[in-house]
Amino acid sequence: MAKVTGLGGVFFRCEDPAAMRDWYRKTLGIESEEYGFPFMWRDLDRPEKRGYTVWNPFPKETKYFDPSTKEFMVNYRVENLTELMRRFVAAGVEIAGEMVQEENGKFAWIVDPEGNKIELWEPIDSDVDPYLPQENEDDD
């Protein structure tokens, strides 16, 4: 079924992303790299299924949030992004760009009635996601 399955990420604009990452590292222990910090987790019903939720500050002048002028953008993990997008088009939901396939899954964007851009992400299988550390069965 085409639906949201969880939170994929939280992104926000700021004056100085490097200084912001440093502040969050020193203050809250979030060890963020240039492309954010992945909070790792396991699916409650299927613990073998792993995933991550990304936190990342963006430069204030980023175009990634366009057409929104808001300071935050939320990314939702979804199932069957292609079907969701068909439903959104049929319902007249504002679409912000074309769906893209990246190495960690499919992405698409919509805009809510108050102008908030929403990123939708259909992740690939966790066993082949290049951004998810692979588990070693032999850690000796």
- Give the chain's domain count: 1
* Residue found by looking up tokens 């074309």 in the block: 98
> Which of 85, 94, 90 is CA-nearest to residue 66?
94
Whole-Å CA distances, 54 to 29, 85, 94, 113, 139: 15, 22, 24, 25, 26
Residue 22 lies in a domain: no
Residue 140 lies in a domain: no
The 10s digit of each residue's pLDDT in 101-114 is 999 999 999 999 99
Residue 134 lies in a domain: no
Is 0.75 surpassed by the pTM of this model? yes
Confidence band (pLDDT; 50, 70, 90) for 138?
A: very low
CATH number at residue 54: 3.30.720.110
Residue 48 lies in a domain: yes
Residue 70 lies in a domain: yes
DSSP conformational letter for 74: E
Residue 29 lies in a domain: no
Q: According to the model, what pLDDT value does residue 34 have?
A: 86
The 10s digit of each residue's pLDDT in 58-89 is 999 999 999 999 999 999 999 999 999 999 99
Instruction: Identify the domain containing residue 88 by its residue range.
Output: 3-11+39-122
Of 19-23, 33-37, 87-91, 94-98, the least confident: 33-37
Residue 31 lies in a domain: no
